[in-house]
Amino acid sequence: MDPAVEEQERQEGIAFAKRLGKALHRHGAPAYRLEDVLETLSTMLGLRGDFFTTPSALFYAFDLPGEGGRAYLQRVRGTEIHFARLIALDRVFNDAVMRRIDLAEANRRLDLALEERSPWPQLLVALGFVAASFAAAFFYGGGMREMLLSACAGTALGTVYLLTRRAENLSRLFVALGGVVVAATATALAVPLVASDDIATLAGLVVLVPGFSITVAATELALGHPLSGTGRMANAMMTLMMLGIGVACGRAAAEGVFGSAPAPDSIVPLPGWWEPLTLVIAGLSLGVLFQAPAKRLPVVVAAVFVPWFVLKGAEGRIGLEGGLFLAAFANGIFAHAWARWRDLPSMLVRLPGMLILVPGGTGFLSITALMEGDALSGVQTLFRVAVSAIAIVTGILAASVALPPRKAL
């Protein structure tokens, strides 16, 4: 082959690897999967590359003939879970690796994948916050009044989401503003609705609590990615702190105007058939929030059912930590089996299932306790978060051994 043509192909391959890596990083791929994708891609393209990722940057190093090597740094700002784009990126990756398309076509299709529009209008995404909060209140032990109050808090959060999407400066304050408006709404309406504002606040923030980030960070640490894992864990802790401060400010402001909300005398439990109904609502709302195409919503709902019922069946026999391990194992097996069958990213199943299990709410309670001066309770709760996260991570790793994923995604 003409050396000039060969060099051009190498440069096109490097450019494609860099663009694909940045796109996958921005759309939620963890370090251990992203590096595997890039290594697979570079090998299939005839490139020798080494890759290193952090939560905010990507490093590439390629060994090129006649050169000592060439390194690149890409800064990645912001992460967005977008299942529709992830599916499109996965198809481009598959076709490029299997040599079904050349690099010029791969780059063209990569542009189209990154321009993939949301399958849902913004108003419906905002309603996803309402539905997720409504369903979460049931799992936090609330009755119908708490679920309605949580829906009101979710409505306030969805409104903040719509407003902050229009201004980049405001979007950086979305977490803190979300904590303020959710706590203020729950406190202000708790008296007329005679409901628990604590349950409503926790349920209203369920989408913002970084339980998934804590679990991914623990997984990265377990798989030998200490820089990415510690960086992601630090970011999750900062998110919890911002939520805690926002909740404290919102609650204080609402109590100053409306007075403190007394705890309800009792919470009326709902019939058993509400459990599968709220799981369906939770699955549909997560699918909309994560921009899953409409035809993928059934598997997102199934991904919520599988680990939840495994956890419910195992917890009474082997304890919470053992139940979390088995539920995470079942989630991983289901995700890998579905991904092999449909030739799609396992993240579409793995992420919703993990969100049902992750200890984000408990982590938020630990930060709240510490901010209220209850250090002992806060530390004890934080330790439970760590143990729960380790149990989930162990289950995920065991599933990867029992049924390895077909590909890195």
Q: What is the pLDDT of residues 244-268, one digit of tens each?
A: 888 889 988 988 888 777 777 677 7
Whether 229 and 282 share a structural domain = yes
Whether 105 and 242 share a structural domain = no
- Beta carbons of 218 and 233 less than 8 angstroms apart: yes
Whether 146 and 175 share a structural domain = yes
Predicted local confidence at residue 361, as pLDDT: 46
Give the list of residues 6+ apart from residue 2 with CB closer than 8 angstroms, or none: none
Please indicate, yes or no, if residue 183 is contained in any of the structural domains.
yes
117-168 residue pLDDT tens: 889 998 999 999 999 999 988 888 888 998 999 999 999 999 999 888 877 6
Q: Which of 83, 114, 145 is where one domain is finished?
A: 114
Predicted local confidence at residue 367, as pLDDT: 47
Higher pLDDT, residue 275 or 261: 275
Please indicate, yes or no, if residue 195 is contained in any of the structural domains.
yes
- Does the pLDDT value for residue 277 go beyond 90? yes
- Beta carbons of 59 and 266 less than 8 angstroms apart: no
Distance of alpha carbon 350 from alpha carbon 404, whole angstroms: 13
75-101 residue pLDDT tens: 887 778 889 998 988 888 888 888 888
Predicted local confidence at residue 78, as pLDDT: 73
Whether 327 and 210 share a structural domain = yes
Distance of alpha carbon 200 from alpha carbon 325, whole angstroms: 28
Please indicate, yes or no, if residue 161 is contained in any of the structural domains.
yes
| DSSP bridge partners of 62 | 49, 70
Whether 77 and 187 share a structural domain = no
- Does the pLDDT value for residue 360 go beyond 60? no
24-76 residue pLDDT tens: 888 878 888 888 888 888 887 777 788 888 888 888 888 766 666 677 888 88
pTM above 0.85, yes or no: yes
The full length of the chain comes to: 409
Whether 109 and 233 share a structural domain = no
Please indicate, yes or no, if residue 259 is contained in any of the structural domains.
yes
Residue 33 CA, chain-centre distance (Å), reads: 15
Q: Which of 114, 144, 178 is where one domain is finished?
A: 114
| DSSP bridge partners of 73 | 59
Predicted local confidence at residue 68, as pLDDT: 61
Give percent of the chain above pLDDT 70: 89
Predicted local confidence at residue 167, as pLDDT: 72
Whether 102 and 154 share a structural domain = no
Distance of alpha carbon 262 from alpha carbon 196, whole angstroms: 8
Please indicate, yes or no, if residue 407 is contained in any of the structural domains.
no
Confidence of residue 372 (pLDDT cuts 50, 70, 90): low
Whether 131 and 110 share a structural domain = no
Whether 103 and 171 share a structural domain = no
Please indicate, yes or no, if residue 189 is contained in any of the structural domains.
yes
168-198 residue pLDDT tens: 677 778 888 998 999 999 999 988 888 888 8
Please indicate, yes or no, if residue 408 is contained in any of the structural domains.
no
Whether 167 and 271 share a structural domain = yes
Please indicate, yes or no, if residue 409 is contained in any of the structural domains.
no
Domain span including residue 283: 122-402
Predicted local confidence at residue 195, as pLDDT: 85
Total domain count for the chain? 2
For range 271-294, the mean pLDDT: 92
Whether 95 and 160 share a structural domain = no
Distance of alpha carbon 225 from alpha carbon 76, whole angstroms: 18
Q: Which of 57, 90, 114 is where one domain is finished?
A: 114
Whether 45 and 129 share a structural domain = no
